[in-house]
Amino acid sequence: MIRIDVVCPLYLADREIGRVIRQLKAQKKIELNKVVFPITEEGDLSAVIQKIRQAGFSYFLVPKSEFSHSLTREKAIIEYCESDVVLMMSQDVRFAMDVAVYELVSTISEQTVFAYGRQISAKRSIERYTREKNYGKNSRTVTAIDVEELQLSAFFASDAFSAYHRPTFLALGGYDHVHMMMSEDMYYAKKVIDAGYGKAYVAEAVVEHAHDYSYKELYNRYRSTGKWFAEHPEFDNYKTTDSGLKLAKYVFARAVRERNIPVLLRFFPDMASRYLGMRRGRRNKP
């Protein structure tokens, strides 16, 4: 049994909190020490808080104006957690197996201090294929010696389903108290690798996770991503080995092979939304 703490930020989670609690308690080969839910304040939270209390878990409230992907998670890990291993997850992931968490957290050590699992989508959507491309079937641990080969992709990670070695997180200063509304996982992955540690991708730890973005939402998300890169020039020296063009080609080929007509009809406006959003965001230099 591996003793862990869990951090799962919540936002308008009335319909999801019950499932989140049930699936955590159903996981095998782990001991849940502390489960912490940072809750963004919006709407009536009484039902959500009641279920958290009934489960014996804890929470803290975050004013909507103060929510931060980085600072909120950082506060949870530093102030509320105590175990050496912390599972980070989003409220919309679904564990695909009853040992998904174990498979992920069991990779954490004093050398491999950050890990993330495999995300799949059962929907016949573009997200199904993008996740196939970004989350392959082979596990790998990345260290500094791999950066020259992998370039920017060396720092890829996802806090939708990840695990942290808390002592190292504290020693490295977490996210450096920097406010970020996305990509705090990639920011930390670079810190980990630069400091001489390893970051693991664990293909055996599987969750279902996908979004249904409109074209406008997709454009805005990629614009935010582009803006994030513009604000973090420390990533400018690395090439994009897995380019958007490669991803587009992969998605198109998979959709043709499976004769997925809905995806083929959506393909061009979807990819255009991603490309134009990223380009616009990167031009917004701080």
CA distances in angstroms from 245 to 42, 53, 252, 275, listed in the order given: 39, 47, 11, 9
Q: Which residue has the tokens 């420390």?
A: 234
Contact 164, 85 (CB under 8 A): yes
Cα angle for residues 31, 155, 138 (degrees, 5° grid):
65
The SS3 of residue 152 is: helix
11 is written with which tokens?
A: 């936002």
CA torsion, ordered 35, 41, 44, 45, to nearest 10 deg:
10
Q: Determine if residue 205 is left, alpha or beta; phi over 0 gives left, psi from -120 to 50 gives alpha, anything else beta.
A: beta
The 10s digit of each residue's pLDDT in 65-87 is 999 999 999 999 999 999 999 99
**Which of these, 261, 239, 241, lies nearest to 252 by C-alpha position?**
261
Contact 162, 115 (CB under 8 A): yes
The 10s digit of each residue's pLDDT in 3-23 is 999 999 999 999 999 999 999
Q: Determine if residue 115 is left, alpha or beta; phi over 0 gives left, psi from -120 to 50 gives alpha, anything else beta.
A: beta
How high is the pLDDT of residue 113? Answer: 99
Ranges of the chain with pLDDT below 50: none
How high is the pLDDT of residue 284? Answer: 74
Contact 27, 102 (CB under 8 A): yes
- Percent helix, percent strand, percent coil in the chain, to nearest 5: 45, 20, 30
Residue 114's beta-bridge partner residues? 164, 199
Domain locations in the chain as residue ranges: 2-208, 215-283
pTM, two decimals, is 0.95
Residues 6+ apart with CB under 8 A from 256: 264
- Would you tell me the crossing angle of helices 126-134 and 261-283 to the nearest 10 degrees? 60
How high is the pLDDT of residue 68? Answer: 97
Please state which CATH class domain 2-208 belongs to. alpha beta
Q: How far apart are CA 131 and CA 208, in angstroms?
A: 10
Phi, psi of 163 (to 5 degrees): -135, 140
Checking 44-51 for CB contacts under 8 A at 24+ apart, the result is 47/14, 47/17, 48/10, 48/13, 48/14, 48/17, 51/17, 51/18, 51/21
Q: How far apart are CA 2 and CA 171, in angstroms?
A: 22
How high is the pLDDT of residue 239? Answer: 86
